Chain A
Amino acid sequence: MSFLEIRKVTKRYGTQTVLNDVSASIDRGEFVCILGPSGCGKTTLLRIIAGLETADAGQVFIDRMECTFLPPSKRDFGIVFQSYALFPNMTVRENIMFGLRQKKEMTQAVREKKVHEMLDLVEMGEHCGKYPRQLSGGQQQRTAIARALALSPSYLLLDEPLSALDAKVRAKLRAEIRALQRKIGITTIMVTHDQEEALTMADRIMVMNRAVIEQVGKPGEIYNKPQTRFVADFIGSMNFYGDGGKTRGIRPEKIRVVGMADDHNVRARVREVEFKGAFTRIYSVALNTADEFFVDVPSDRVDSMKLGRDSTLCLQIPDEHTVCYSIAG
């Protein structure tokens, strides 16, 4: 049995079903991201794992024990929120110490040692006397993580922990959190709506949409073999086109722009050229089927192609990179 098992969990708010017969399992030491658009039920799933909400039906097992009806205080987890929720009237050190002081079996010296250890872990030692408002967003988030880990919980829950930070800090913290998680090997469940975050950080991703889990898999699997049209569309970009009553999809960077047209190639007219930095996206319309294709080409190659609006080009679509969906729409 895996570390965490969710069996056929259903949750409704009034007439709205937020989780519809959801099952999932997470192994010990895994970093799992629950990814989905807002309103898909991902936060509710996290709250059920934390015990902040209780399922209307179904069961939750953590570490082989059924804890469907266990309140949060009886479960053994640390939690970090987007808002950090650091106690503003306590210093960094006091925030971390607050939970430790409840452990009556610990001596003060042991507690101090633990705080020190945590401060080192998140590299906040020099800021330990500061109050939360004196810290940058990234520092606040690191403090929140240290506080969540101080009691050595058996799993860690992260609720959109990076969403409030600016892009640079976010990228840096992603790597930091991942490295930290590997180092202490704690089972971690992170909720996010940011696909890039999920792809870079997770061991496995659960993609949720409309109260169900659409696909579970390693980041590479999710990206390369999206099982549903929703997953394909939500993660990265995907061209969809008709192929004999079926819908096929291909990633824009997998399409090749070639000089010569043969039977397998698609001739298309350029509609728009959009410079995006490292690569350039070319929007085009197939001449024979009117399917739309957008293609990502490294920007340094685009200049030599001499592309402009309404010029025609040849697209090669490698079969091995296409995904097929029987149901269109």
Chain B
Amino acid sequence: MTRYSLRRRLVRFSAAHFGVLFFVLAAFTVVFILPLLSLFSQAFTNDAGVWAGLANYKRYFSSPALSVSVWNTVHISLLTTLFSTTLGFFYAYAVTRTAIPGKKIFTYAALLPIFIPTVVQALGLVYIFGRQGIITQLGFDISLYGRNGIVIAETIYTFPSAFLLFYTAFQFVDGRLYEVCNVMGVKPLKCFFHVTLPEMKYAIVNAVFVCFTLAFTDFGAPKVIGGNYNVLATDVYKQVAGQFNMSMGAVVGTLLLIPAVLSFIVGRFISTHNSGAMSAKTTALTIKENRLRDMLYFILCAAVSASFLFLVAALCVGAFTAFYPYDMSFTLKYFTFTESRGGLQAFFNSISMSALTAFFGTVFVFLAAYMIEKTDGYGLLTKYGKLLSLLPLAVPGMVIGISYIFFFNSPANPLNFIYGTVAILVLSNIVHYFSVPYLTAAGAFKKLDKEFEIVAESMKIPRWQTFFRVSIPLSANAVAEVAMYLFVNSMVTVSALVFLFSADFKIAAVAITHMEEAGENSQAAAMSILIIIVNIIVRALYELVIKFNKHKQSARESM
């Protein structure tokens, strides 16, 4: 009988599937889990490489100069979370639940910060609120450098995430609930507290954790406008890149993981508990007329969008004027970048790095999603794959960056040769931004009829052909979305890359921090504008692809 059950197990076993799945998971383990382990081993050993237990942590918390950063970081993260979720909530409410004009424009405007590196957002703030900023010169000094600046910059940075979470959640609330409220004569305010808020509770919790984590781990903004206000992310950088104190850097790195891991757990919990509500059939809400409400929400949306646009406009002022604020004549001279900062080459490097990330990342994401979601019978391996694919959500870029230093820079590592090349940048980006694309790909595959595979198998079509001829073409929109997401994020990220770029291969977002550090704000602004333009073009291309697919699909459906 045991022979029977063994043979039974082997029926669906295919060496090829197993091989690919195993390769995918092994590769991911090497570029993700092993570096993290080397980070932890650094945090728990002393400079001589001997096990030190919690000694490093004791040293960290007993030196006030260092540990003050913990409270600073918590402080700015809490404030950011408060502002960002509140603004995001009402902004999303405005574009889904009111009759204000220009909803589409407002929706796009809300996403603008996604295309801008946080260092650039901070730089924009310097042009507005800095010592010679546009608003400061009008007599309003908000003392930008330090806590205030960081909180403003992080609020801008985290706003799109909060907005998108609420935007999606509002669309899933069943409009009939409000009709029932209306019929029963429930007052609007009561309806808000008894219907809207309960329906939104998961989105709110999720947004709070996401915003907190993003603010907690961001490096770009505090680097530019943090002044003497130390936060954990800048501390890691100073310890590792400035003082070569690897153990201390590792200690701070592990601290950065804490809210991210918490947020990850909460996010998992919510997505398993909230899935029922998502699949239920809902009716869209019919929006009632209310002019006062619309006016208030219009003002809110207009104010938020205008400030984002103002930020970009301020960068343009910086980039295109000869010597702000003294000589306001138009110039293009800042677009010929100083060679020592990487010059225009840094910009092209960024594009090629992002394109490589988008290409290899998309291939890897869809391969992994297909192997993990569409093959069964590999029990534990599949489970491990599912965990691995989501875990990057819990690991901030800074942590990936230093982990990669510890892991790949070690001379004993046979993969040491990729250190200092574009390969390590691409790799860290793929790992850093893996999970969201993975969920997109897995979701797209799940929507496909399970029976496609069975039919194909009965027709003796090899699995890889079904993958390329059926699964991928039917997920074309998801492919475009994943590639766009990876490209845009690779263009703007600094956190992991600041540790990993080499002098031979500088990239734009890091070059901006260096220019800003050297006081070459105009050049930094010019470079920023180039990044924003490229990202907006890529996004527009993506929208075109979607439109084209839609057109193709409707042609296939018309009788």
Interfacial residues, chain A to chain B (CB-CB below 8 A): 50-52, 54-57, 68-73, 75, 77-79, 81, 83, 85, 87-90, 98-99, 102, 131, 133-134, 147-148, 150-151, 153
Residues from chain B with Cβ under 8 Å of A75 in the complex: 458
Per the bound structure, the CA–CA distance linking A99 and B449 in Å amounts to: 18
* Interface contact A79-B454, CB-CB below 8 Å: yes
**Complex CA distance for A301 and B506, rounded to whole angstroms:** 95
Which residues of B lie under 8 Å from residue A51 when comparing CB positions? 11
A67, closest chain B residue (CB): B11
Q: For residue A69, which residues in chain B have a CB less than 8 angstroms away from its CB? A: 7-8, 10-11
Binary flags per residue of B182-215, CB closer than 8 Å to A gives 1, else 0:
0000000000000000000000000000000000
CB-CB nearest 6 A-B residue pairs: A99-B459, A85-B451, A131-B556, A133-B557, A89-B473, A72-B457
A98 / chain B contacts, CB cutoff of 8 Å: 456, 459, 461, 469
A-B contact pairs, 9 of them (CB 8 A): A50-B454, A57-B4, A72-B457, A75-B458, A83-B449, A85-B451, A99-B459, A102-B459, A148-B458
**Chain A contact residues: helix, strand, loop or mixed:** loop
B11 touches A54 (CB 8 A): yes
Bound form: Cα–Cα A310–B3 in Å: 68
A204 CB, nearest partner CB in chain B, Å: 23
Nearest CB to that of B450 among chain A residues? A85
Contact with A along B466-501 (1 / 0, CB 8 A): 000110011000000000000000000000000000
Contact of A85 among B7, B11, B12, B452 (CB under 8 A): B452
B15 interface residue per 8 A CB criterion: no
Would you give the shortest CB distance from A128 to chain B, in whole angstroms?
A: 14
**B455, closest chain A residue (CB):** A85
Is there an interface contact between B470 and A134, defined as CB atoms closer than 8 Å? no
A229 and B266 CA atoms in complex are apart in Å by: 54
Q: How far is the CB of A247 from chain B (nearest CB, A)?
A: 41
Q: Nearest CB to that of B474 among chain A residues?
A: A89
What CA separation (Å) do A99 and B452 show in the bound complex?
12
Contact with A along B543-557 (1 / 0, CB 8 A): 000000000000011
Kindly identify which residue among A70, A88, A134 contacts B559, using a CB–CB cutoff of 8 Å: A134
Q: Complex Cα distance A152/B4, Å?
A: 32
Contact B557 A99 (CB under 8 A): no
Hey, which chain A residues are within 8 Å of B556, CB to CB? Answer: 88-89, 131, 133-134
B460 contacts A85, CB within 8 Å?
Answer: no
CB distance from A8 to the nearest CB of B (A): 12
CA distance A79 to B453 in the complex (A): 11
Across-interface contacts of B473 in A (CB, < 8 A): 89
Given A51-B11, A70-B11, A134-B556, are A79 and B455 neighbors across the interface (CB < 8 Å)? yes
Complex interface: chain A residues within 8 A of B456 (CB)? 98
Q: Does B558 contact A (CB under 8 A)?
A: yes
On chain B, the residues within 8 Å of A56 by CB distance are 5, 8
Q: What residues on A are CB-neighbors of B559 within 8 Å?
A: 134
Interface string of B1-43 (1 = CB under 8 A from A): 1001101101110100000000000000000000000000000
Asked if B11 and A88 make an inter-chain contact with CB atoms under 8 angstroms apart, the answer reads: no
Docked-complex contact B461 and A81, CB < 8 angstroms: no
Distance (whole angstroms) from the CB of A151 to the closest CB of chain B: 6
Instruction: Output the nearest chain B residue to A78 by Cβ-Cβ distance.
Output: B458
- Which listed residue (B12, B461, B557) contacts A71, Cβ 8 A? B12
B11 neighbours in A (Cβ, 8 Å): 51, 54, 69-71
Distance to closest chain A CB from B23 (angstroms):
22
Q: A99 and B460: CB pair below 8 A?
A: yes
CB-contacts of B144-178 with A (<8 A): none
Residues of chain B within 8 A (CB-CB) of A102 are 459-462, 465
* Known contacts A73-B460, A81-B451, A89 near B557 by CB under 8 Å: no
In the complex the two chains form, is A151's CB within 8 Å of B459's CB? yes
- Nearest B residue (CB) for A131: B556
List the A side residues contacting B452 at CB < 8 Å.
Answer: 85, 87
**Are B8 and A79 in contact, with the CB atoms below 8 A?**
no
5 new A-B contacts, CB < 8 A, other than A50-B454, A71-B14, A151-B459, are: A57-B1, A72-B457, A78-B458, A98-B456, A151-B460
CB contacts (< 8 Å) of A72 on chain B: these are 454, 457-458
Note all chain B residues with C-beta closer than 8 A to A70.
11
Q: In the complex, which residues of chain B have a beta carbon less than 8 angstroms from the beta carbon of A68?
A: 7
Q: How far is the CB of B9 from chain A (nearest CB, A)?
A: 8
Q: Within the complex, what minimum Cβ distance (angstroms) separates A134 from chain B?
A: 6
Bound CA span A89–B473, Å: 7
Which of B5, B458, B462 lies in contact with A50, CB distance below 8 A? B458
What is the chain A residue whose CB lies nearest that of B557? A133
* Complex interface: chain B residues within 8 A of A90 (CB): 469
Contacts of B12 in A (CB 8 A): 54, 71
Give chain A nearest CB distance to B174 CB in angstroms: 27
Q: Which residues of A contact B5 (CB under 8 A)?
A: 56
Q: How far is the CA of A267 from the CA of B505 in the complex (A)?
A: 101
Contact B4 A85 (CB under 8 A): no
Which one of A54, A57, A70 has the highest number of Cβ atoms from chain B below 10 Å of its Cβ?
A54
Min C-beta distance of A297 to chain B, whole Å: 44
| Max chain B C-beta neighbours (<10 A), residue from A51, A73, A75, A151 | A73
Task: Report the Cα distance A53→B459, complex, angstroms.
Answer: 17
Q: Does A77 lie within 8 Å of B458, measured CB to CB? A: yes
Contacts known (A72-B454, A85-B452); A147 close to B459, Cβ less than 8 A: yes
**Contact residues in A for B558 (Cβ distance below 8 Å):** 134
From B451, B454, B470, A89 is in contact (CB under 8 Å) with: B470
A83–B10 Cα gap in the complex (Å)?
29
Chain B residues with CB under 8 Å of A52's CB are 454
Q: How far is the CB of B552 from chain A (nearest CB, A)?
A: 9
Residues of chain A with a CB closer than 8 A to B557's CB: 131, 133-134
In whole angstroms, what is the CA distance A90 to B11 when docked? 30
Q: For the complex, give the distance between the alpha carbons of A131 and B554 in Å.
A: 11
Residues from chain A with a CB closer than 8 A to the CB of B474 are: 87-89
| Set of chain A residues within 8 Å of B8, measured between Cβ atoms | 54-56, 69
Q: CA–CA, A3 to B351, complex, Å?
A: 63
Contacting pair A99 B461 (CB below 8 A) = yes
Nearest CB in chain B: distance from A10 CB, A: 11
Most buried by A among B454, B458, B473, B559: B458
Chain B residues in 8 Å Cβ range of A57: 1, 4
* B449 and A85 within 8 A (CB): yes
A158 CB → nearest B CB, Å: 12
Assess A83 versus B7: contact at CB under 8 Å? Given A99-B461, A102-B461, A148-B458.
no
Contact with A along B439-455 (1 / 0, CB 8 A): 00000000001011011
For A134, the chain B residues whose CB sits under 8 A away are 556-559
Give CA–CA (A99, B466) in the complex, Å. 11
Q: How far does the alpha carbon of A87 sit from the alpha carbon of B468 in the complex, in Å? A: 12
Q: Is the CB of B457 within 8 A of A83?
A: no
CA gap between A102 and B460 in the complex, in Å: 7
Q: Which residues of the other chain, A, contact B14 by a CB distance below 8 angstroms?
A: 71
Distance of B24 from chain A, by nearest CB (Å): 22
Nearest chain-A residue to B451 (Cβ)? Answer: A85
